[in-house]
Structure 1
Amino acid sequence: MKKLFSLLILVLMLPLQACAQEMYKEGEHFEVINDKATDKAEVLEFFSFWCPHCHAFEPLVAQMKQKLDKDVSFEKVHVNFMNFAKTETQDEATKAMMVGRALKREDALNKAIFNYIHVQRSPVTSLKDLENIFIINGVDSGEFEKLASSFGVNSMVSKNNKAIEQYRSHLTGVPTFIVNGKYKAKFTREMGPDDMVDLIVWLSKQK
């Protein structure tokens, strides 16, 4: 009886799996940009603090993180080629993000930077402006400056910029999601927020 029940469940699940495979089509919902996937499952979100679409996407990013399997890493990569600010200023924002990452407060401090730019409509012109945002949000000035000049943070900045170089030809806009180093997600007009989240989760399971 138990074997029969298990077989029935398996038969019922097969059509669901087939539907998922038919739902997302190469060329329409994703592009294959590499022959081989990364050894470990990962999602890279290429974004800019100055991008209004990236700001609007933040709630979806939070949902993605919740829905992804625990063994899937999710990492933001801050780009420096937007026209909204000088390249040097965008690089400073990358460094500030890495300070937040080192403090294990990245999500909250990223939100503070987004709000400063898009809600308060305040300009960011230097690392000092970013430091002030962090201070307002409870980060000690001395700790910020120490981390900003540290080897660890500068190494994370270098890793961030190497990822930009690696995938630059595929970054036609932001936010852009590269999954498992092999797939670039494509969001169609027909897709709702839940569909976008589910696409990223589905791609993370592909090899």
Structure 2
Amino acid sequence: MMKKLFSILAVALFLPLQACAVEQWQEGTHYEVINDQATEEKQVLEFFSFWCPHCYNFEPLVEQVKSQLGEDVKFNKVHVNFMGFADKETQDAATRAMMVGRALKKSDKLNKAVFEYIHKQRSPLTSMDDLKNIFAINGVEKAEFDKMVKSFGVNSLFSKNNKLIAQYRQHVRSVPTFIVNGKFRPTFTRDMTPDDMIDLIVWLSQQK
């Protein structure tokens, strides 16, 4: 009897919280539905550019989002090549370098190094050689970089990145843009706090 009472109380407590979340985040105000069907796998895609100052400033929030997502949700950064910060060839080179970092399982460290090279050190990034030097300073041998950047594995990751760009290009008007479960695009309003933005993305990741 006591166990049943606890179960009833748990449900009673959970429902108001759930209703509050649904009431707080409204379609058309806080997010848009961009597809009829959600992806089978729960996922959060962040479309970003290393050259974008907003993306750089958003990085601490991205780390918090990743830490709060459920274990069943995959997070993936998608580097775009259509921003006006640099020519397409250089942006593609940055994407390839990012995939080297991903293949080495050092994405967080190497992505941060590229971001800081551009925004903190304010150094021009104009070629693959610049990226190679950044990686070398951060522990990736230049010979290893040269080998990996042309490897089948990195080519495959690079191709997957560009397929995601093509798939969602019409929905990415600026960066950073988040696409959640292939169906939802969060809209950050002026009155939202950083915690609100994180909560919205995490909440959407559990929606179908």
Q: Structure 2-normalised TM-score?
A: 0.98
Cα deviations across residues 59-85 of structure 1 (Å, max 9, x unaligned)? 000000100001110000000111110
Where does the alignment leave 5 or more consecutive residues of structure 1 unmatched? Answer: none
In structure 1, what is the equivalent of residue 15 of structure 2? 14
Map 1:151-190 to 2 at 5 A: 151-190=152-191
**Residue 6 (structure 1) shift:** 1.5
- The question of 1:109 aligning with 2:110 is answered yes
Aligned residues: 207
RMSD of aligned alpha carbons? 0.6
**Residue 155 (structure 1) shift:** 1.0
Secondary structure of 1:189's aligned partner: coil
Cα deviations across residues 85-121 of structure 1 (Å, max 9, x unaligned)? 0110000000000000000000110000000000000
**Residue 182 (structure 1) shift:** 0.4
Secondary structure of 2:78's aligned partner: strand
**Residue 13 (structure 1) shift:** 1.3
Map 1:84-123 to 2 at 5 A: 84-123=85-124
Secondary structure of 2:15's aligned partner: helix
In structure 2, what is the equivalent of residue 201 of structure 1? 202
Q: In 1, distance between residues paired with 2:117 and 2:57?
A: 14
Q: In 2, distance between residues paired with 1:189 and 1:205?
A: 24
Look up the equivalent residue of 1:34 and give its one-letter code. N
In structure 1, what is the equivalent of residue 45 of structure 2? 44
Look up the equivalent residue of 1:194 and give its one-letter code. D
- The question of 1:60 aligning with 2:61 is answered yes
Look up the equivalent residue of 1:29 and give its one-letter code. H
**Residue 9 (structure 1) shift:** 1.7
Q: In 2, distance between residues paired with 1:149 and 1:12?
A: 55
Q: Structure 1-normalised TM-score?
A: 0.99
In structure 2, what is the equivalent of residue 77 of structure 1? 78
Q: In 2, distance between residues paired with 1:125 and 1:48?
A: 14
Look up the equivalent residue of 1:145 and give its one-letter code. D
Look up the equivalent residue of 2:172 and give its one-letter code. L
Identity percentage over the alignment?
69
**Residue 19 (structure 1) shift:** 0.5
- Runs of 4+ off more than 4 Å: none
Map 1:130-141 to 2 at 5 A: 130-141=131-142
